[in-house]
Structure 1
Amino acid sequence: MKNLSSAVCVLIFFALGCNSSQVPNHSSNIRQQSSRQQARTTQAGATSQPFDYYLLNLSWSPEFCHSHPTAAECAQHRAFTLHGLWPQNNTGPYIENCTDAPGPQDPSAYSDIYPDPGLLRHEWKTHGTCSGLSADAFFNLARQAVQSVTIPAELSTLDHPTSMPPAQILDLFAKTNPSFPPESLALSCGNNYLTAIEVCMSKTLQPIACGAIRTCRANTVRIPPPR
């Protein structure tokens, strides 16, 4: 009878374990490892978004300030002001609103490129969160991008309204920035007014040929001077 009891215990041990509290729960460990791996994968995805290049958009302030005269940048009478550094794909729409990561702790540290803190917050939430960078790293990169572009004197010192074909404006930028491939430059316009110059850049801010982006198709654009 004793041998039978031992035999039964052996069978139960292999099935469940005679003292199940001392048997390692391998399935639970596997689930925990899987959950940790999934968490690491999710975290990595939140900080590394796939995109091909950056589009630097420099807004022509006089045109913007015509309809937004009380905006913070308008009191400074700038020629071009940073609108954004936008992660882009070679094909398809740009990515946006990628994570809920917080913006910079001190937005005023970037007032030289973003006089309006509201625009800074918008740009971080919509575009910066897709860069894979922290907020401070992203806005420091944006500052470097702005500083790498030389504005043609014909526009930076403009003191009267003028008109130019888009190709002429792009040619001015190409001549003033000779290291930029002509294919890296694009122009935006609205109602036949200049609205922005755009530069396509690699993730290390090297000017590169643009992907599929919209360009101004006007024959001539009007350019109001900074006031």
Structure 2
Amino acid sequence: MALILLLALVATPAQAQSYQCRAPSSLSAPAERKPTSEPRRIKPVTAYTMALSWSPEFCRTRKDSPRDRTQCSGDDGSFAFILHGLWPETRGPAYPQWCAPTRPLPAAVVRRNFCMMPSMKMMAHEWAKHGTCMTERPETYFRVSRIMFDAVRFPDMDRLSRKPLTAGQFRNAFAAANDGVTPDMVRLKVNVRGWLQEVKLCLGQSFRPQRCPVYMRAVNADSPVKIWRGG
């Protein structure tokens, strides 16, 4: 029911997160198989996490990586925040995953969502591991993901990158940019050198922002955070 209600909404105009993005002419997203090391968990979905990856940091050491060419080479666009995934959650840390086997993603789905998630392998993985626990059709999963991604407003990352910054200050800035979001609804992923890798926004069953659960690890509010601008 939550998916149906969300799809009835009209998304607000997207804040540009990609520049001169163009889907490559050759598109292929083969079906992702569940690793033997990971269990299939079919559980009631009670919440969601939207994971937003800071692409300049991810691509910092991957510009020449064939595996990450579409996101990092610059040939298909230059990216700021991209969608890592929209993940269904349940009560407790053992979230639903790998709920059903999948087929290769339709080329139209890959092309339509490339500028949001500029990796065909990641699209296939996110659909197989997470999307199958939300809906039966990849078109629905990616349409919902796109509505949620387009609704997010990001703080001025260039300005934040040029001054001393803590995790608490970044969460405050992110919350201030988005109506209805408070800092306790935001989690950060920071690498061991203190560089921002990812922002996670906690969502309720109706896809509205909510306080993150206590078991979701939070970076200490006083911890320094650096933002790589690329280059």
Instruction: Give me the TM-score of the superposition, normalised by structure 2.
Output: 0.70
Partner residue in 2 for 1:136? 139
- Partners of 1:121 and 1:207 in 2: CA distance: 26
The aligned residue for residue 164 of structure 1 is 165
Q: Tell me the residue number matched to 2:201.
A: 199
Q: Provide, for residues 2-34 of structure 1, a one-character-per-residue CA deviation record: whole Å limited to 9, x for no partner.
A: xxxxxxxxxxxxxxxxxxxxxxxxxxxxxxxxx
Is 1:224 the equivalent of 2:211? Answer: no
Distance 1:103 1:139, change over 3 A: farther
Superimposed CA distance per residue, residues 45-87 of structure 1 (whole angstroms, 9 cap, x where no aligned partner):
x9x8512111000011111011222432232332211111111
- Please state whether the residue corresponding to 2:85 is helix, strand or coil: strand
1:60-71, aligned counterparts within 5 Å? 60-70=54-64, 71=68
Structure 1 or 2: more helix by fraction: 1
Contact 2:50 2:87 (8 Å CA) reproduced: yes
Count of equivalent residues? 179
Structure 2: 5+ residue stretches without partners:
1-39
* 8 Å Cα contact 1:163-1:220 kept in structure 2: yes
- Quote the Cα distance in structure 2 between the aligned partners of 1:142 and 1:194: 22
Once residues 181 and 161 of structure 2 are traced to their aligned partners in structure 1, the CA distance between those partners, rounded to angstroms, is 28
What residue is the counterpart of 1:120 in the other structure? 123
- TM-score of the superposition, structure 1-length normalised? 0.71
CA distance in 2, matches of 1:100, 1:59: 26
Bigger Rg, which one: 1
Higher relative contact order (CA 8 A, sep 6+): 2
Identity between Structure 1 and Structure 2 (%): 26
Return the offset for 1:131: 1.2
Aligned to 2:187: 186
